[in-house]
Amino acid sequence: MPETNNRKITHAYQIGFLGGLGVLTAIALGSAVVSLAGIITSIITALFITLGLEPLVQLLQRRVKKRGLAIGIVALGVLGILTAVFFAILPPLISQASTFITNLPELLKEFLKLPLVESIDSRLGGSIATALNSAGEFITDSKNWPNLLGGVVKVGITLLNGGVGFLTVTILTLYFMSSLPSIKRVGINLVAKSHRQKLEGIVDQVIGSVGRYVMGQVVVSSINTTILFTVLMIAGVEFAVVLAFINFLLVLIPIIGSITGASIVILVTAATSPTETTIAVAIALLAYIQIEAYLVAPRVLKKAVNVPTALIIVSALAGGALAGILGSLLAIPTAATILLILREVWVPRQDKR
């Protein structure tokens, strides 16, 4: 009996020891993933951009015959467009942003005079007005800007990290663009030879789907921003360039981007323009959002990724909840990939049973 008990104790100790090692290993892996989050994000972003530009590269490659030349043309074209847009937008953006910050206290006061805001503020005992006025005074005081951003040193480090991050993503994108065929070939060669041809077809469809989705989302955002900017210029709304720039970035986020951008524009318009102008801008933007939601975006995205509209909405919301903006951007092509695999692999296997 004593020997049996000793064996049981020893066995239990071994299980506990191995379990503890497993927990420590999981913690170490989790810590490593957290530490590498920035690098992983850069890699995913570069891959996303690469797949988005791949249809253009393939189109040019059919004409010039050489992939390297096609990549060079696409890269120079994208950099040229970004540079032109940057220098076209930067001067008015800086000017209007500076004016916007200077006039922020007055804008907040006008915002507080809106009937709905005034009613809510009165019910809360004026707490909204106090908070917004304090925030406006703090932000407009240039002495507080370094503190707001975490100190002068941290501001410099943040700008440096941003520049390094942009350069890293650019280099990774160029590398992935040049080596995408070899990466695809290595991955396909890892499976059995009898399945390689079918897998290659699925991979090509996935790459094409993601590329069309990225280009489609840029097209939707460009159309939205063009219409918004036109409406703001016709209505004579201040800070049109700043608002259009913010709106373009927001509309790249599926589902919620358009309404978020329009909400910001309407609030700023309400604080800077007459009521009639605000109502006109709100009606125009909300009308276009309906058109975009029911006609433009579903057609573009469904044609790009061949995913039902309901699944597009659910995927975008789930991706945003799990991984923020990057999750929203990746959710729809991920859903398209899963549907493609189910359609090309799972369903045929089930049909044979």
Encode pLDDT of 319-351 as tens digits.
Answer: 777 766 667 777 777 777 787 777 777 777 777
CB neighbours of residue 305 within 10 Å: 25
Question: Helices in 252-308 by DSSP H: which ranges?
Answer: 257-272, 275-291, 297-305
Rounded to a whole number of angstroms, the distance between the first and last alpha carbons of the chain is 55
CB-based contacts of 49, cutoff 8 Å, min separation 6 = 169, 173, 214
Is residue 174 within 8 Å of 71, Cβ to Cβ? yes
Mean pLDDT of 30-49: 74
Q: What is the pLDDT of residue 96?
A: 65
CA 300 to chain centre: 18
* Structure confidence at residue 87 (pLDDT): 76
Percentage of residues in the chain with pLDDT exceeding 90?
A: 0
Residue 151 confidence (pLDDT): 45
Predicted confidence (pLDDT) per residue in 280-300, tens digit: 888 998 898 888 877 777 777
Residue 148 has pLDDT above 60, yes or no: no
| Residue among 238, 212, 221 at smallest CA distance from 306 | 212
User: Residue 306 has which token pair?
Assistant: 């061949």
**What does the alpha-carbon distance between residue 346 and residue 349 come to, in Å, rounded to a whole number?**
5
The more confident residue out of 241 and 271 is 241
Determine whether 240 is exposed, middle or buried from the number of CB atoms within 10 Å of its CB (0-12, 13-18, 19+).
buried
Confidence of residue 153 (pLDDT cuts 50, 70, 90): very low
> Given this model, what pLDDT does residue 141 score?
55
Of residues 8 and 273, more confidence is placed in 273
